[in-house]
Amino acid sequence: MSNATPAAARAAALDERHGLPGVLRFCEGPGGLLLAEVSNAQARATICLQGAQLTHWQPRGQAEPVLWLSDAARYLEGKSVRGGIPVCWPWFGTPAGRPQGPAHGFARNHPWEVVATGARPDGSTGLRLQLDDNPATRALWPGAFALSLDIVVGATLDLELCTRNTGSVELHVTEALHTYFRIGDIAAVAVRGLEGVDYFDAAAHAAGAAPVDCRQQGPVRFDGEVDRVYASGGPCWIDDPLLRRRLHVSATGSASTVVWNPSAAKAHRLGDMGDDGWRRMLCVESGNARDSGVSVAPGGTHRLEVRYRVAPWSDADASAAT
């Protein structure tokens, strides 16, 4: 008689159907959550099937992971893990008129199905995960949908979040790929590519301060809590002189970029960021937030595509940044 846990048995069944020997395997992770682990010639990655959440991506040759994962992360059924790339859908933030609904939607808290996996000709590895509407989702939101996430793990990380309206009523969604980047120190990094872009200052709004509608002057730097929704989905990048790398983010199907670091006081209130974890993380999130939500007609689709790329930091970059 097997002593395997139910999660281990499910992982074994997934391995038999979708595993790629020596490249992709499924296993039981902390808290009994199912994980997909990728290790190819270009990179390593881990995906939690609950929420279709990337928790690790590290291209070969990088001394540090590109994604930040909290040392105090909690692995619980029905809860998003602190770090990686949670999928915020079908709403970003708090749902309008329903403050009791789960923050950032339900997609990041529900188990997704593995639809397909495959080795690609360039040596990268692909996975497709899907979440369909079901009684649990309809109790929170009435939409009929098929939501898929295509993941390509290689020297770059490519994600495509596709919303398909399978019902007879138009869907309106706000969304984001809530990406936590691992950085050397929040005081040393800068986000570039958003200069001159208008943004909503959510931290100022929450504090009752003014102004809340602002325009970015120069690169984004950090000396306190930053929580901003920029009215641009264009390319941007993080300059990280301590880890000597530049993290590029480019998206299509995106009209918003969210930049977030909670600073010390809020990080302490969150309770799962670890000791000074906020210093080593920065969220730069591609999506369609606030007034940039998307409407999907019956039978229609909307695609949010993001590519993450790492480039080396040079002494010339350091001189230009001063």
Residue 35: CB atoms within 10 Å: 21
Distance separating alpha carbons of residues 176 and 190, to the nearest angstrom:
21
Largest CA distance in the chain: 66
Concerning whether 172 is annotated as a catalytic residue, the answer is no
CA distances from 122 to 23, 126, 155 (A): 14, 11, 10
> How long is the chain?
322
Distance separating alpha carbons of residues 150 and 36, to the nearest angstrom:
14
The amino acid at 199: Y
Tokens 């309206």 -> residue: 165
In sequence order, the 6+-apart residues with CB closer than 8 A to the CB of 122 are 154
- Which member of 56, 104, 110, 178 is catalytic? 178
Peptide bond into 121 cis (omega under 30): no
Residue 139 tokens, joined? 């109790």
Tokens 């880890």 -> residue: 243
- Which member of 28, 175, 285, 302 is catalytic? 285
Distance separating alpha carbons of residues 202 and 200, to the nearest angstrom:
6
Concerning whether 225 is annotated as a catalytic residue, the answer is no
Distance separating alpha carbons of residues 128 and 172, to the nearest angstrom:
23
Nearest of 153, 150, 159, 103 to residue 130 by alpha carbon: 150
Tokens 């993450």 -> residue: 308
Residue 198: CB atoms within 10 Å: 13
Residue 119 tokens, joined? 């080795």
Angle value at C-alpha 262, between 256 and 268, nearest 5 degrees = 150
Distance separating alpha carbons of residues 148 and 59, to the nearest angstrom:
24
- Catalytically active residues are 178, 285
